Amino acid sequence: MDFRFTEDQLTLAETVRDYLVGTHGPDVLRRLDAENARDPAIWQGLVDMGLTGLLVPEEQGGLGMGLLEAALIAAECGRACLAEPLVDTAFVGVPWLLAKGETGQLAAIAAGEIKLPLPHAINPWVADAPSRGNDELVSVDPLRVLSKGTGEDDPHLLNLAALMSAAQLVGLADAMLSQATEYAKIRTQFGQPIGAFQGIKHQLASCAVAIEFAKPVVWRAAAAMQEGLESAPIHVSHAKVSATDAAMLTAETAIQVHGAMGYTYEVDLHFWMKRSWALAGAWGSRAFHLKRVDEAVLGGTHAIGPEHTFA
């Protein structure tokens, strides 16, 4: 079996990356932070790209693609530190509604008319809910808009959201590694770039390895969810743990590479770092997902070994 992405899938992800680089750079993040608001033009751009309808069936005005494509785009949203709730609405909310057989809102979601909040018992907040005011909460990530609230314990919603959080985390980690690497090339000490020192090289290399090991775990989880495998929740938890570890390691390393400047508002890194912190705890903490994996593998409910893995 060929597990590689198709040329069309990779081209789609690259197109989205190029678009976000051109329209959603650090200057935009700083403006949104300063204004404490959403920009309708940014959302409309995502709608015009067809991203809000990526998973909406064609008969409801969407593109009818699958969770693998959505996971790839979610990673690009993480790489750009996208402020708008595209991932929640289009890549989590849409497949959740489809699984429940609720198709009435899909055309409006594809057209960008609805931003779908995702209430769940595991989160004591709701992101980008229509109502704000006194119920608004302060997030570690200044670009997230949170309100008090919770919902039922829906396992399918949890798995979809945890999967897409993991995809965003690997994109965030990629971006932070790139920022740290570029800074290491221009920051000099003792007459040479700090990137020339073995200690810096090894730390950045460890981040790169962690990210590259996490990516296939995330793609596997997306495929398992798309195929409706019984083992999908275990793959999702594995993905959330791996992506969280990669992002947290990279955030810490990137701060260290930047030195004292890494803690300041003047360095763009802090937007990606804070988004990583926020997503690490959203839709199940590392401990929550590690426990799910432990209970399945060590508890014996998930068969292991090549005769099962490759059956």
Provide the mean pLDDT of the chain.
93
List the Cα angle 166/244/71 in 5-degree steps: 15
70: exposed, middle or buried (Cβ count in 10 Å: 0-12, 13-18, 19+): buried
> With 60 as the cut, is the pLDDT of residue 133 above it?
no
**Rounded to an integer, what distance in angstroms lies between the CA atom of residue 201 and that of residue 226?**
38
pLDDT tens column, 153-170: 999 999 999 999 999 999
**Rounded to an integer, what distance in angstroms lies between the CA atom of residue 227 and that of residue 309?**
15
CATH number of 166-309: 1.20.140.10
pLDDT tens column, 169-220: 999 999 999 999 999 998 888 888 888 888 999 999 999 999 999 999 999 9
List the Cα angle 139/69/42 in 5-degree steps: 45
| Residue recorded with tokens 């693609």 | 65
For the CA atoms of 88, 92, 98, 104, the dihedral, rounded to the nearest 10 degrees, stands at: 0
The predicted structure's pLDDT at residue 189: 84
CATH 3.40.50.12280 fits 7-114, yes or no: no
CATH 1.10.540.10 in the chain, residue ranges: 7-114
**Rounded to an integer, what distance in angstroms lies between the CA atom of residue 298 and that of residue 290?**
11
**Rounded to an integer, what distance in angstroms lies between the CA atom of residue 164 and that of residue 196?**
36
| Residue recorded with tokens 């399918």 | 156
Look up residue 192 and give its DSSP letter: E
List the Cα angle 163/32/92 in 5-degree steps: 20
pLDDT tens column, 275-296: 999 999 999 999 999 999 999 8
The predicted structure's pLDDT at residue 298: 86
**Rounded to an integer, what distance in angstroms lies between the CA atom of residue 261 and that of residue 268?**
10
Identify the three-state secondary structure at position 282: coil
CATH 1.20.140.10 in the chain, residue ranges: 166-309
